[in-house]
């Protein structure tokens, strides 16, 4: 009887602990790893070179990049980001580093989607995110009120987020 009760308890706990709660989740079962939408931004110079690559002249190290929002009271709040290296997806090679932030998407609802990106000593760029409501995917990114170029090649289906380009 004890074995039966233990087995029943394990099944009940597994049932409650393994539920899909996120909208738009993918995967064969409820215990599949969860993915969250994010901003992926490639920063290029006028010559099309990767400005997040340390081998590029005039590149921006992560310490020279600031992603932030300005709260209603004027306080500046930094937003976590990382720099993701080039990657391979199937037979396609994506050769650019990307500024990557999941936190910016979760903050969009409470900030009307207005953020700022400062590169070195240059004037900050105003970033406006437009989300697809059910999936919380960034459908459109405006940089200084102009629509950013989005990846349209074979890598457009790479992930739950679009890859955008900023020409600095």
Cα-Cα-Cα-Cα dihedral sign, residues 50, 52, 55, 59: positive
Q: Is 18 inside a domain boundary? A: no
Q: Is 28 inside a domain boundary? A: no
DSSP character for 63? G
Helices (H), the chain: 2-17, 103-111
Tens-place pLDDT, residues 117-160: 999 999 999 999 988 766 667 888 999 999 999 887 766 666 65
The secondary element (H helix, E strand) that includes residue 137 is strand 137-143
Q: In the chain, how many domains are there?
A: 1
Q: Is 4 inside a domain boundary? A: no
Average pLDDT over the chain, rounded to an integer: 82
Q: Is 41 inside a domain boundary? A: yes
Tens-place pLDDT, residues 77-89: 999 999 999 988 7
Quote the pTM value: 0.76
pLDDT score for 26: 47
Give dist(CA 124, CA 112) in Å, integer.
18
Domain span holding position 155:
35-167
Q: With contact defined as beta carbons under 8 Å apart, do 160 and 137 qualify?
A: yes
Tens-place pLDDT, residues 61-75: 999 999 999 988 889
Q: Is 97 inside a domain boundary? A: yes
The residue among 59, 63, 95 whose CA lies nearest residue 78 is: 63
């Amino acid at each position: 009887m004890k074995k039966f009760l233990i087995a029943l308890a394990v099944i009940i706990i597994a049932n409650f602990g393994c539920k899909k709660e996120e909208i738009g989740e993918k995967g064969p079962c409820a215990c599949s790893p969860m993915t969250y939408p994010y901003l992926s931004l490639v920063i290029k110079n006028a010559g099309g070179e990767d400005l997040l690559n340390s081998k590029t002249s005039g590149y921006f190290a992560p310490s020279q990049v600031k992603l932030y929002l300005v709260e209603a009271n004027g306080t500046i709040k930094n937003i976590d980001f990382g720099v993701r290296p080039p990657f391979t997806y199937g037979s396609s090679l994506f050769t650019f580093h990307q500024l990557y932030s999941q936190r910016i998407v979760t903050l969009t609802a409470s900030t009307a989607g207005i953020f700022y990106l400062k590169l070195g000593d240059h004037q900050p760029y105003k970033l406006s995110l437009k989300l697809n409501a059910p999936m919380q995917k960034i459908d459109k990114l405006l940089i200084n009120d102009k629509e950013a170029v989005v990846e349209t090649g074979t890598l457009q289906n790479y992930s739950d987020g679009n890859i955008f380009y900023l020409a600095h």
